[in-house]
Amino acid sequence: MSIIHRLTPFDGTRDASRPLARIDNIREAAKDFRRAMLAGPHVRYYESMELVRVPYPTRYGYLNAFSALSPYLHLVNRLFVIQFDSADGIKTLLASPSDWEHQRDTPFFKRLTDSMGPAAGIGEAMVFRKTATVLDCLARLGLKPEDIDYLTYDHLHTQNLTRWLGGPQPVFPNAKLLVMREEWESTQSLIPWQAQWYCPGGIDGIAEERVILLDHDVALGDGSVALVRTKGHTEGNHSIVANTPEGIKVTSENGVSLDAYVPERSSIPGVAHYARVTGSEVVLNGNTLEYGIDQYLSMIQEKCIAGPNPRDERYPNIAPSSESAGFWLFPQTRPSFQVGNLKYGSLHRPAATTDSTPRRQRAA
């Protein structure tokens, strides 16, 4: 029995010729989707853990809104470990498992390092904070690579999946990638300005059977996790939605902080002013601007699904996959509200086995 089930609440919500009508349709559909998901089970386990902090241009992070002098903000990239029940037992999903040790050839970041010249080592030590690797995090939890059933990313900017899933001995021998078809296809045929943000060779050597291409919004297992298409930041962007004891958490990189979702409340220079003078309800993370209108719609969709944050109801219950954080070298970039690391539920550790055959072969 498949653990992947199609969801239909948002079907057709973007078909209207008038953009404001699309927003109305999305808001109404989000009410129904949210109500149904809240009535269902919680995820068995949910934890987000910091991996690495990297510099990111403020002109992209708060598109057209940031007015202070700092050219960069600090992005905190996090790993999300999510476990949910299914008819086939407990499943473990890694969301945003960035292999940052092997993504340094992403053209934008490579140019940034190269621009420092002989001072690159010093500059990198100052602005890159390497907190943990994915494998460090799993070891701390007592999970082995073979315990992982699925990987997913809201989009594939900067990602290198080859070590995780490629070749004859991938790090995650039993895992499959859950990815929107548009994202997978576009990653293999990038136009130049898209290519600046994708790691060269980042999906090389991955066998077809290791990839599950998604064409629709889907629920996973018991429905406590959903992958919802939120086109905009990239053509195949999706959001990871999880029903937790603290409400529905929505994760993507459409926005780099909660300030981006409620800009009128932001203390970051320029952001609230931009919202006031333009009437904009959100501020895009716009490094590629593949589908700007759709990204605007998607951010509204995300915060309508998430609902209010129980820690401060003035903000939505969103946990960005890469969240802006304050940093002394990048003044006036600290968001008004920071999500930080999260943890809910009890972790299930699969029983140890002496059989070295991957589970996907044992189950065949």
In the chain, what are the domains?
A: 4-326 (3.60.15.10)
Are the CB atoms for 143 and 349 separated by under 8 Å?
yes
The enclosing H or E element of 299 equals helix 292-306
- Over the chain, what is the mean pLDDT? 94
What per-residue confidence (pLDDT) applies to 92? 98
Q: Give the model's pLDDT for residue 179.
A: 98
Q: What's this model's pTM, rounded to 2 decimal places?
A: 0.94
pLDDT at 356 over 70: no
Position 116 pLDDT exceeds 90: no
- The DSSP bridge pattern shows strands 91-95 and 150-152 to be parallel
Cβ atoms of residues 117 and 124 within 8 Å: no
How many helices and strands (H and E) does the chain possess? Answer: 11, 16
Length reported for the chain = 364
| % of the chain at pLDDT higher than 90 | 88
State yes or no: pLDDT of 177 exceeds 70. Answer: yes
Q: Grade residue 89 by pLDDT with cuts at 50, 70 and 90.
A: very high
Alpha-helical segments (H) within 90-240: 107-114, 120-127, 134-141, 162-165, 181-187, 192-195
